[in-house]
């Protein structure tokens, strides 16, 4: 039976369970670069050779750990629903972080060879792009927080401090955007980035986000890619009396979905897909549903441009629903 490490990852911590033969060891680490290094040292002490590492694709908390560990081990990122189904098949009822890590390790051991979809190691240029995009998101979060504090401030001195912090964040964002643009000119990214920017509504930053995720996983079909983004509208119904408006599922990659939302807003306001939007409006679809449909359309187009290595062709995509 293969050696397996199960990781239950939250925003701040990682619960780890390594199974080697019949022995199981557990430990807890910070979800940070220093924590990953300590985890690696722990595994070396455990003599975990030919190790398979499994983790759930929960939110975005797993990404940094998967990128780091993927450089040294075989990493598998698993749909949480599969882990949940496995737990039910094993009649597991106790649920805490430690037990979840053990369960994930056992699931990793149980997988048949054909289901061992190893996450590809991240190349140095791609790793740099990931770090820049993460930094950009952090700066935007800081900027938003400062704007909220500025609005709530009463004292003039305090207002000036917050305004200064916002100005500083804008300067840093400009530098980061410059570095992202420079990185996207590298051979690994230039063609796909240029092709993606031919799609109406897709700018340089959105193209960088899409590129990051398209080359991150070997998506076999456009539907797999769309599901990864969490762009399947869902309508909730109860009998015949309760109906909620369709919206975006809570599953999927938040960063990718946010980038596609901004692009869809631009495409909708500037009417980049007139026939497609017209048909949706004729069906009396609410604006939110139309935006989700445009997001999905943009995602599908991006997938095929990446797969075929070609630029956007209006005559092919303008009239077709995604």
Place of tokens 């700066």: 139
pLDDT in tens, 219-234: 889 988 998 888 865 5
Q: Which residue has the higher pLDDT, 95 or 243?
A: 95
Q: In this structure, how many other beta carbons lie within 10 angstroms of the beta carbon of residue 84?
A: 13
User: What pLDDT does residue 248 have?
Assistant: 57
Q: Tens digit of pLDDT for each residue in 66-123?
A: 988 988 899 998 878 788 888 888 776 667 889 999 999 999 998 887 777 788 777 8
pLDDT on residue 116: 79
Average per-residue pLDDT in the chain?
88
Model confidence at 184, pLDDT cuts 50, 70, 90, reads very high
- 16: β partners: 7, 27
What are 3-35's pLDDT values in tens digits? 999 999 998 999 999 999 889 999 999 999 999
How do residues 108-159 score in pLDDT, each as one tens digit? 998 887 777 788 777 889 989 998 999 999 999 999 999 999 999 999 999 9
d(CA 223, CA 294): 15
Quote the pLDDT of residue 322. Answer: 44
Decide if pLDDT at 242 tops 60: no
Q: Per the structure block, which two tokens stand in for 133?
A: 């995009």
| 264-278 pLDDT tens trace | 999 999 999 999 999
pTM of the complete model beyond 0.85:
no
Q: Are 109 and 143 in contact (CB under 8 A)?
A: no
> What is the biggest distance separating any 2 CA atoms in the chain, rounded to whole angstroms?
67
User: Which secondary structure element, helix H or strand E, spans residue 104, and what is its range?
Assistant: helix 97-110
Q: Look at 237 and 245; give whichever has higher pLDDT.
A: 245
Please compute the mean of the pLDDT values over residues 278-295 and round it to a whole number: 94
Query: What percentage of the chain carries pLDDT values higher than 90?
Result: 62
The DSSP string of 45-91 is: HTT--SEEEEEE--TTTTHHHHHHHTTTSEEEEE-HHHHHHHHHHTT
Residue 244 reports pLDDT greater than 60? no
Residue tagged 């990852």 (tokens) = 9
Q: Report the pLDDT value the prediction gives residue 18, as an integer from 0 to 100.
A: 94
Q: Summarize the confidence of residues 174-181 as an average pLDDT.
A: 97
The pLDDT of residue 277 is 94
Q: Where are the alpha helices (DSSP H) in 153-269?
A: 156-183, 187-196, 204-214, 222-229, 254-269
* pLDDT tens per residue, range 299-320: 999 999 999 999 998 877 664 4
pLDDT of residue 251: 63
Span 241-270, average pLDDT: 78
Which whole number is the average pLDDT over 152-175?
96
Q: Number of helices and strands (H, E) in the chain?
A: 13, 7
């Amino acid at each position: 039976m293969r050696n397996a490490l199960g990781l239950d990852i939250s925003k701040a911590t990682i619960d780890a369970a390594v199974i080697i033969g019949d022995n199981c060891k557990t430990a807890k680490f910070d979800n940070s670069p220093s924590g990953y290094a300590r985890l690696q040292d722990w595994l070396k002490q455990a003599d975990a050779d030919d190790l398979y590492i499994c983790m759930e694709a929960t939110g975005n908390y797993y990404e940094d750990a998967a990128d780091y560990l993927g450089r040294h081990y075989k990493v598998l990122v698993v749909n949480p629903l599969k882990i949940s189904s496995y737990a039910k098949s094993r009649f597991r009822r106790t649920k805490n972080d430690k037990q979840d890590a053990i369960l994930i390790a056992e699931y990793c051991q149980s997988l048949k060879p054909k289901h061992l979809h190893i996450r590809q190691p991240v190349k140095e240029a791609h790793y740099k792009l990931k770090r820049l995009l993460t930094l950009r998101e952090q700066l935007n979060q800081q900027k938003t927080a400062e704007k909220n504090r500025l609005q709530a401030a009463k004292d003039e001195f305090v207002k000036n401090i917050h305004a200064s912090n916002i100005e500083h964040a804008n300067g840093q964002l400009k530098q980061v955007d410059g570095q992202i643009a420079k990185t996207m000119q590298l051979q690994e990214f230039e063609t796909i980035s240029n092709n993606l920017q031919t799609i109406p509504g897709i700018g340089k930053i959105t193209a960088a986000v899409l590129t990051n995720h398209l080359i991150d996983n070997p998506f076999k079909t456009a539907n797999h890619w769309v599901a990864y983004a969490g762009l399947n509208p869902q309508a909730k119904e109860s009998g015949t009396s309760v109906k909620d408006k369709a919206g975006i599922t809570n599953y999927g990659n938040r960063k990718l979905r946010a980038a596609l939302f901004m692009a869809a807003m631009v495409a909708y306001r500037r009417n980049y897909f007139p026939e497609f939007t017209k048909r949706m409006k004729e069906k009396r679809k609410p604006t939110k549903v139309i935006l989700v449909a445009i997001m999905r359309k943009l995602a599908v187009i991006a997938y095929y441009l990446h797969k075929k290595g070609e630029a956007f062709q209006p005559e092919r995509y303008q009239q077709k629903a995604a």
